[in-house]
Amino acid sequence: MSALKQSDEGGMGYLETGMSKLVTVYLPLAVFLFVLLFPFYWMAITTFKGKDELYDYERYSPFWVSNPTFENIRKLLFDTSYPEWLWNTMLVAVVATFLSLAASVFAAYAIERLRFQGSKGVGMAIFLAYLIPPSILFIPLATMVFKLGLFDTRLALILTYPTFLIPFCTWLLMGYFRTIPFELEECALIDGASRWQILTKIILPLAVPGLISAGIFAFTLSWNEFIYALTFISSSENKTVPVGVLTELVEGDVYHWGSLMAGALFGSLPVAILYSFFVEYYVAGLTGAVKE
Amino acid sequence: MGSLANNRNLLGALFMAPAAVILLVFLTYPLGLGAWLGLTDTKIGRPGEFIGLDNFRSLADDAVFWLSVFNTLVYTAVASVFKFVLGLWLALLLNKNIAIKSFIRAIMLLPFIVPTVLSAIVFWWIFDAQFSIISWTLKKFGLIDQYIDFLGEPWNARFSVIAANVWRGIPFVAISLLAGLQTIPVSLYEAATLDGASRWQMFRHVTYPLLTPIIAVVMTFSVLFTFTDFQLIYAITRGGPVNATHLMATLSFQRAIPGGQLAEGAAIATAMIPFLVFAILISFFGLQRRKWQQGAEN
């Protein structure tokens, strides 16, 4: 009996069974999941609640929708500029991602594989650049954007988002390129391939998973960006989703919780859907960025 | 042409050029420009002149500025501790042999994926004074008599925004630490079990020391992003009630953009840098040193 108990307390998971595992593993895990996911549930059901139901917790259970309505969504899509915000966010995120990815591939290849003089220092500088937060850059960037005549344009966002995307993507791709064996390149060099051919014909095809990781991560970061979009954009038709929802859907002291939640839901869905297709790449990108 | 194309340095410079130009123009230059702006009296629509350290002198007498420093330190310290403890716990749970593990891992990352401002708006609604679902539930169970004024009282508001920040940060910490846990060889635990180590001893002497390098990196990132947080506060409280949740970043925005005092905002942003460097050094070297000690012992 005591020997059995001893092994029960051991570290090997397969020896843990029954009640103890239920209480020590599944119960806390369920609580974690409930807390982490409840806000999304709350967001979703509020979206479909009508006005009377939204504020009446006595007659209707707040945890369920009794009379689902599309009124909030209709209002969001037809009475506000929400479709334009979605389009702006999409456009800025896609263009900034491709720009940054292209610049990062060359930079990462140069640092990791060409090993030019000072490449170690440049690699370190890229990492430090990633640590510089947007919240200390937005004021000087705002004055620059204004001087360049880019204030209130989407181009201002397309040009400034790479400041956090390039360091991140380059750092991620550097780690990825490191895993591709040197011998492949040496063979190609001996066969007379140029550096350009090596990059496009050998390295890039092998780095596709890394490129996907960096790409979808960059897209998500652009989609989530807030402070630059809040500072550099003033007119409603140029706003992105996060800024538009927060600044345009709140009128004075009146909070239209229904349409606010609908705005949050539809702003979250595109990244959530993208995420659901590329979960493994996300995890690889996330852990790859901190591992090095 | 052939020798040109194969010259490492020239080719390296060429390949670096696009990234370098963008980063030098839109990152390095504004970093310097920000420091310079802090030393001028620039306002929106009016170029400033050099006034030395006057902005910093007036900030030193500014009670709201010091309140924002205090808030930022409390916010960063409390949120980071909770994110670390809960994130590590979640990582340890996910590292066990459990059913539908990859599905759980996938959906628990959602708070990290979804735009912060949008999830912050949901928290704003959850923390509503009249219709908070938390208050309603607690009252239903008879745990409270009155609805909690989540965002109206200074400390309530502080802990509410911290809770929202922790909620968003747990998945990042957990997934990163889980990746670290999976690199620890099972044989070490088998050996420890044979030596009769208890579960706590195994965590303390096998898991924790082997995990320290990744903990150091993860927590450095976490501290950095918490310290410079802007979105969450701006969406939930805008710094209220009576500046009780203003962080340095939100105060800097408040003064510079709606207030028009670009120079003062830039000075506040500059004032964040020493704190930031200090926070990074503490979290990074504080944890690294333990690793060295561990190495020295062995």
**One digit per residue, pLDDT tens: chain A, 292 residues?**
334 434 433 445 555 567 777 888 889 999 999 999 999 999 999 999 888 887 778 777 888 888 888 888 888 888 888 999 999 999 999 999 999 999 999 999 999 888 888 888 898 888 888 888 999 999 999 999 999 999 999 999 999 999 999 999 999 999 888 888 888 888 888 888 888 888 888 888 988 989 999 999 999 999 999 999 999 999 988 999 999 998 888 766 667 888 899 999 999 999 999 988 888 888 877 776 665 4
A170 with B19: Cβ contact below 8 A:
yes
Is residue B136, in this structure, part of any structural domain at all? yes
pLDDT by 10s per residue, chain B, length 298: 445 445 788 888 889 999 999 999 999 999 999 999 999 888 888 888 888 888 899 999 999 999 999 999 999 999 999 999 999 999 999 988 888 888 888 888 899 999 999 999 999 999 988 888 888 888 888 888 888 888 888 999 999 999 999 999 999 999 989 988 988 888 998 999 999 888 889 888 888 888 888 888 888 888 889 999 999 999 999 887 889 999 999 999 999 999 889 999 999 999 999 988 887 777 667 666 555 555 443 3
Q: Check CB contact of B234 with chain A, cutoff 8 Å.
A: yes
**Residues of each domain in chain A carrying CATH 1.10.3720.10:** 80-291
pLDDT the model gives residue B290? 56
CA angle A67, A68, A69 (to 5 degrees): 115
pLDDT the model gives residue A212? 92
With CA atoms as reference, the chain A residue closest to B253 would be A139
In the CATH hierarchy, which top-level class contains the domain A80-291? mainly alpha
Of B15, B189, B224, the CB nearest to A106: B15
Q: What is the ipTM of this complex?
A: 0.88
Question: How far apart (Å, rounded) are the C-alpha atoms in residues A136 and B255?
Answer: 13
Most A CBs within 10 A among B43, B118, B160, hence the mutation to make, goes to B118
pLDDT the model gives residue B297? 39
Alpha helices, DSSP H, located in A115-256: 119-131, 138-147, 154-160, 162-178, 182-190, 195-197, 204-206, 208-224, 227-232, 241-248
Written as six digits, the tokens of A183 are 């011998």
pLDDT the model gives residue A71? 85
Is residue B200, in this structure, part of any structural domain at all? yes
* Residue A31 CB coordination number (10 Å): 10
pLDDT the model gives residue A104? 95
**Sign (positive or negative) of CA dihedral A179, A181, A184, A185:** positive
Question: How far apart (Å, rounded) are the C-alpha atoms in residues A244 and A229?
Answer: 10
* Per-residue pLDDT reduced to its tens digit, B115-170: 999 999 999 999 988 888 888 888 888 888 888 888 888 999 999 999 999 999 99
pLDDT the model gives residue B266? 94
Q: Check CB contact of B97 with chain A, cutoff 8 Å.
A: yes
The residue segments making up the domain with residue B256 are 54-297
Contacts of A26 in chain B (CB under 8 A): 98
Cα separations in angstroms, A150 against A77, A89, A232, B30, B99: 28, 17, 8, 16, 52
Question: How far apart (Å, rounded) are the C-alpha atoms in residues B74 and B59?
Answer: 20
Are B65 and B268 contacting, i.e. CB atoms less than 8 angstroms apart?
yes
Number of domains making up chain B: 1
B122 with A137: Cβ contact below 8 A:
no
Question: How far apart (Å, rounded) are the C-alpha atoms in residues A63 and B4?
Answer: 69
A290 with B15: Cβ contact below 8 A:
no
Radius of gyration of chain A measured on its C-alpha atoms: 25
Cα separations in angstroms, A279 against A36, A84, A159, A203, B95: 17, 28, 28, 24, 18
B18 with A290: Cβ contact below 8 A:
no
Using CA atoms in the order A120, A126, A127, A129, what is the torsion angle rounded to 10 degrees?
A: 140
Helix (H) or strand (E) holding A49: none
B175 with A283: Cβ contact below 8 A:
yes
pLDDT the model gives residue B25? 94
pLDDT the model gives residue A5? 39
A91 by DSSP, 3-state: which? helix
Alpha helices, DSSP H, located in B47-95: 54-60, 63-94
pLDDT the model gives residue B296? 41
What does residue B40 show for φ and ψ, rounded to 5 degrees? Answer: -120, -175
Question: How far apart (Å, rounded) are the C-alpha atoms in residues B246 and B254?
Answer: 9
Task: Give A251's strand partners.
Answer: A254
Question: How far apart (Å, rounded) are the C-alpha atoms in residues A237 and A194?
Answer: 47
Written as six digits, the tokens of B151 are 């965002």
Question: How far apart (Å, rounded) are the C-alpha atoms in residues B298 and B244?
Answer: 48
pLDDT the model gives residue B1? 42
Question: How far apart (Å, rounded) are the C-alpha atoms in residues B19 and B107?
Answer: 34
Is residue B13, in this structure, part of any structural domain at all? no
Most B CBs within 10 A among A290, A291, A292, hence the mutation to make, goes to A290
Question: End-to-end alpha-carbon separation of chain B, Å?
Answer: 55
Alpha helices, DSSP H, located in chain B: 2-6, 8-23, 29-37, 54-60, 63-94, 101-108, 110-113, 116-126, 133-140, 154-181, 186-194, 199-202, 208-227, 231-236, 248-256, 262-297
